[in-house]
Structure 1
Amino acid sequence: MTNTALSRTERARRRCDVDDLVVIAAVLGVPPATLLLPFASSSGTDREGR
């Protein structure tokens, strides 16, 4: 994935296809399914702090 493609994906100017998801997951060292699941907080609060 090029820097331009990543930047456009982050800014929602480009779709994140399955192959993009696999590449991003590999770079982060996590399974692709991890990027699709809701954020899990260890403190019991959601991302907004509730």
Structure 2
Amino acid sequence: MKEGGVATPTKNMTNDEKTAVEKAKDDIVSGKIKVPNHPAGSKFNQQF
């Protein structure tokens, strides 16, 4: 995400939705939001 490897299609989003997505991206990159490697309860438990 930090290097721009993740894109979000925004064609059908309102400006408020686009702003919320950009804020969430910034929070993920800064570490404020922690994204798990796998969904809860997944049989996969890989750590990257």
Q: Give the TM-score normalised by structure 2.
A: 0.31
Higher relative contact order (CA 8 A, sep 6+): 2
Higher normalized helix content (fraction of residues): 1
Q: Give the TM-score normalised by structure 1.
A: 0.30
